[in-house]
Amino acid sequence: MTPPNAPHASPFKLPLVAILRGITPEETPAHVGALIEAGFDAIEIPLNSPRWAESIALAQQQYGDRAWIGAGTVLRNEDVDTLADIGARFIVTPNTRPSLIRHAVERGLLVVAGFATASEAFDAIDAGAQVLKLFPAATYGSGHVRALRSVLPPHVPVYVVGGVSPATLAGFLSQGAAGAGIGGELYRPGQPLETTQTQAAEFVRAFQETQG
């Protein structure tokens, strides 16, 4: 069960962000389509993927009316500008960089800002980040989420990323996480489409089991 002080401001209908690190433009349409069919409505393509701008533009053109298409591992203002120009709707950062967060907000992007400590979280919020990303979640554990939630503003969602599996998802949500970003446990470069479909269904099922 979700604790009473848990945030309820997640921008995504299904609070699970699919992270397609390493995907190519040739693979993007099929895998993004499969994830959306499974129930995901937030797709992140990290910028350390090959030809990421092409993949993100393709995903936005084909599925932008059905899902949030965004980018991860965003570190530079010029990449924020490129993303805004090709229609991305959100960025995910691996760290807390207030100047980058402010620039992305000014360009109209939702910012999911990476952090580890309360100090970093408040710096990100002050810069305009609308969502926080605790990384690596498996290292810090669900108790860290609960401790952070006791001091962070309740309207700011905290997503957990890094080592979250269908088996551990409920534990993080029960301690106040609003959702999770799912990377290698969902998608690895070159994997068959059927694997993406199967693992997406497992995560959706795990989330649904926490809701009732």
Q: How is residue 99 written in tokens?
A: 């100047």
Instruction: Report percent pLDDT > 70 for the chain.
Output: 96
Task: Give the Cα-Cα-Cα angle 188, 69, 102 (nearest 5 degrees).
Answer: 110
Instruction: Report percent pLDDT > 90 for the chain.
Output: 95
For residue 3, pLDDT beyond 70: no
Among residues 133, 185, 202, 209, the one annotated as catalytic is 133
Q: What is the SS3 assignment for 27?
A: coil
Q: What is the pTM of this model?
A: 0.95
d(CA 22, CA 51): 9
Among residues 27, 44, 120, 185, the one annotated as catalytic is 44
d(CA 212, CA 171): 15
Write the pLDDT tens digit of every residue in 109-143. Answer: 999 999 999 999 999 999 999 999 999 999 999 99
Each domain of the chain, given as residue ranges in start order, spans 16-210
Strands 16-19, 131-134: pairing kind: unpaired
Quote the DSSP letter at residue 122.
Answer: H
Confidence of residue 9 (pLDDT cuts 50, 70, 90): low
- Whether 44 is catalytic is yes
Q: How is residue 100 written in tokens?
A: 């980058």
- Whether 13 is catalytic is no
Indicate the CATH number for domain 16-210: 3.20.20.70
Confidence of residue 10 (pLDDT cuts 50, 70, 90): confident
C-beta contacts of 140-146 below 8 A and 24+ residues apart: 140/116, 142/168, 142/171, 142/172, 142/174, 142/175, 142/177, 143/175, 145/172, 145/175, 145/176, 145/177, 146/175, 146/176
Closest among 200, 167, 145 to 16, alpha carbons compared: 200
Closest among 6, 38, 3 to 206, alpha carbons compared: 38
Q: Can you name the residues that pair with 110 across neighbouring β-strands? A: 90
- The residues near 123 (Cβ < 8 Å, ≥ 6 apart) are 96, 98, 115
